[in-house]
């Protein structure tokens, strides 16, 4: 889930940046510290917005830099367990597929794709169900449920696990077909009731 979070921090402005516009230097320092970070509490930090730097700073003895309080917002992505998300298949392998959700790729393990025996065709880069003949390949659009989130420690990109083995999950074409079957069954049932009345 994407979130916009308001935060406050103190930034260090090095002496070589003195004389430059305070807001521009502040934005640069906050971006360098936060953008692209993966944090257990924040999630994936995508962008820094709305930076407001206090014009009053402090100088600490032994360090020629100025320290200023700064208020800013972060656009983050924090996947939550049981959340349903849509994404695009970016890579297919014999063990499953990687689905791009937000700024990251989640693993859709082969056992979590469908209720069918699945074979992998390396030449075509396709995972296919033996009985259903459903295919999964790069660029397919999927709806999946998040089953595991491990953001890990600093420096790690984290790991996300997803499943498509539940009703109305999987390739969007499969879902459309499933919805159509449900509609037809409901229409049939309604027609039978009218005939018996």
Q: What is the pLDDT of residues 70-87, one digit of tens each?
A: 999 999 998 899 999 999
Mean pLDDT of the chain: 89
Same domain, 40 and 124: no
pTM of this structure? 0.75
- Residues contacting 106, CB < 8 A, separation 6+: 79, 87, 98, 99, 100, 144, 146, 160, 161, 162
Do 70 and 95 lie in one domain? The reply is: no
Say yes or no to pLDDT of 181 above 90. Answer: no
Q: Give pLDDT tens digits for 5-50.
A: 999 999 999 989 888 898 899 999 999 999 988 888 888 999 999 9
For residues 161, 162, 166 and 168, what is the CA-based torsion angle, rounded to 10 degrees? 170
Q: What is the pLDDT of residue 197?
A: 66
For the chain, how many structural domains are there in total?
A: 2
The CATH number that applies at residue 73 is 3.30.1490.120
Q: Do 64 and 126 sit in the same domain of this protein? A: no
- By residue count, the chain amounts to 197
Query: What was the pLDDT predicted at 112?
Result: 94
What whole-number distance in Å separates Cα of residue 87 and Cα of residue 70? Answer: 35
């Amino acid at each position: 889930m994407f979130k916009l979070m308001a935060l406050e921090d103190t930034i260090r402005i090095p002496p070589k940046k003195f004389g430059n516009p305070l807001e521009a230097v502040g934005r640069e320092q906050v971006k360098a510290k936060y953008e692209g970070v993966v944090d257990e509490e924040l999630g994936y930090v995508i962008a820094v917005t709305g930076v407001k730097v206090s014009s009053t700073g402090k100088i600490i003895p032994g360090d020629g830099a100025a320290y200023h309080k700064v208020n800013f917002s972060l656009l983050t992505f924090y996947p939550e367990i049981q959340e349903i998300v849509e994404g695009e298949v970016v890579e297919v392998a014999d063990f499953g597929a990687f689905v791009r959700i937000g700024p990251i790729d989640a693993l859709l393990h082969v056992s979590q794709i469908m209720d069918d025996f699945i074979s992998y065709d390396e030449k075509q880069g396709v995972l296919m169900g033996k009985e259903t003949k459903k295919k999964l390949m790069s660029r397919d659009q999927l709806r999946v449920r998040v089953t595991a989130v491990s953001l890990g420690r600093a420096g790690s990109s984290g790991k996300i696990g997803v499943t498509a083995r539940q009703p109305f999950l999987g390739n969007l074409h499969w879902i459309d077909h499933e919805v159509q079957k449900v509609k037809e069954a409901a229409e049939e049932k309604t027609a039978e009731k009218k005939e018996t009345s």
